[in-house]
Amino acid sequence: MGAAPRHAQSTRSAYDEDALLSIRVLGADITGPLTFGLLLAGGWQAYRTDLLGQLTGRRRGRKGRWVYDRGLGGKRVWVPAESEEGGSGKLPDHMSDVDFSALAAVAATKAAAGSGSAAQQAAAHYEPPAWWERPGFLPVTSEADRARRRAEAERILRRIEASKNRGEDYALEDILALRAACMSAGGASLDARTVGGRDAIYRTAVEAGIRSCVEPGSVDLGDYSPIRLAAGVASDVSLDERRAVTVLKGLVAGACRGRVVEVGGPGRGRRVRCLAAGGLVSRSGARGRARFVERRID
């Protein structure tokens, strides 16, 4: 009679001990080593992601703050109050996220300016191919005369750019007028409103030069050779020589491929006239006219 209560008491004690080590999940009790495993995994995940640091504004014993960096697409990043290398730079307590984003934008601008200056230095040391004809310019009598002629060149450039807004192509006549105005202004180099517009104006001049070679008499370049016109317009719109040469080579190569494919069709046996460039473009004669390579396609 006395043993039954003791058995019930021992069973109840064991049940109470198991209850202390159990977790109820979806109506089931999880006990024993699995409980400790889950707790340990949860603690490790919280430590690895620094969940406590994000909630308290500290990160594993280091002072600092979490901020949203617009330069990283709004990503939340940790900024320590002191530099990792023991420097003296501290993040002021009164600095807001907006202030930090502004400083980050300034730093990004300075970095971009540094890379831009490096690119400008590389362009300054570029030596173009021998067939590239750097443009000349006319002397000016005074700075006032230079300013007046430059203003005229600016007006022509704006007129050229406005033609695209009207849905019109760039007119070769306007580009030739721009070339003459920049040359008379002492070799003025102007800035187009957009990089795309600058490149499109240059491409128009190059394509006109190619047409004048492939189809003689179809385009009037005035007193300019195709290469000299291309080099002059590149200078007029502040396009560096390296890119100007690269674009010209690509356009000439495309024109040559098109002519070869055209003659390779039903009209086989005709002669094809194609620009050769220096590689792609070469000069012949005192006037520096781009010459033709004439081949028979059989």
Average pLDDT over residues 56-82: 62
Domain-embedded: residue 9: no
pLDDT digits (tens, 9 = 90+) for 262-275: 555 555 444 444 44
Domain edge (last residue) among 104, 133, 157: 104
Count CA within 13 A, CB hemisphere, residue 95.
Answer: 18
Calpha distance 264→85 (Å, rounded): 68
Domain-embedded: residue 46: no
Domain-embedded: residue 122: no
Cβ neighbours for 287, distance < 8 A, ≥ 6 positions apart:
225
Do both 147 and 250 map to the same domain? yes
Do both 149 and 252 map to the same domain? yes
Q: Which residues span the domain enclosing 68?
A: 63-83+95-104
Do both 172 and 232 map to the same domain? yes
Cβ neighbours for 33, distance < 8 A, ≥ 6 positions apart:
none
Average pLDDT over residues 81-96: 52
- Best mean pLDDT range from 75-79, 92-96, 114-118, 269-273: 75-79
Domain-embedded: residue 209: yes
Give, in order, the Cα–Cα distances in Å from 270 to each of 82, 260, 275, 277, 294. Answer: 77, 11, 17, 22, 10
* Counted domains in the chain: 2
List phi, psi (to 5°) of 118.
Answer: -65, -40
Give, in order, the Cα–Cα distances in Å from 75 to each of 40, 46, 66, 69. Answer: 29, 20, 10, 6
pLDDT grade for 297, boundaries at 50, 70 and 90: very low
Dihedral over Cα of 208, 210, 211, 217: its sign: positive
Domain-embedded: residue 47: no
- Best mean pLDDT range from 95-109, 160-174, 228-242: 228-242
Dihedral over Cα of 114, 117, 123, 125: its sign: negative
Do both 249 and 155 map to the same domain? yes
Does residue 132 sit in helix, strand or coil?
Answer: coil
Residue 91 has pLDDT above 60, yes or no: no
Calpha distance 145→123 (Å, rounded): 30
Domain-embedded: residue 201: yes
Do both 154 and 99 map to the same domain? no
**What was the pLDDT predicted at 216?**
84
**What was the pLDDT predicted at 167?**
82
Calpha distance 69→101 (Å, rounded): 6
| DSSP output for 32-58 | THHHHHHHHHHHHHHHHTTHHHHHHTE
Domain-embedded: residue 245: yes
Do both 182 and 240 map to the same domain? yes
Average pLDDT over residues 52-76: 60
**What was the pLDDT predicted at 191?**
92
CB 149, CB 181: distance < 8 Å? yes
Do both 147 and 252 map to the same domain? yes
- The pTM (predicted TM-score) of the whole model is 0.52
Do both 225 and 175 map to the same domain? yes
pLDDT digits (tens, 9 = 90+) for 98-157: 566 666 666 666 666 665 555 556 556 888 898 998 888 888 888 898 999 999 999 999
Cβ neighbours for 273, distance < 8 A, ≥ 6 positions apart:
213, 214, 259, 292, 293, 294
Domain-embedded: residue 225: yes
In the chain, what percentage of residues exceed pLDDT 90?
27
**What was the pLDDT predicted at 73?**
60
Dihedral over Cα of 139, 142, 143, 144: its sign: negative
Angle between helices 226-236 and 195-214 (to 10 degrees): 170
**What was the pLDDT predicted at 121?**
60
Calpha distance 145→140 (Å, rounded): 7
Calpha distance 211→208 (Å, rounded): 5
CB 267, CB 289: distance < 8 Å? no
Residue 22 has pLDDT above 50, yes or no: yes
**What was the pLDDT predicted at 295?**
42
CA gyration radius, the chain: 37
More confident call, 269 vs 221: 221
Do both 251 and 148 map to the same domain? yes
pLDDT grade for 60, boundaries at 50, 70 and 90: low
Do both 155 and 212 map to the same domain? yes
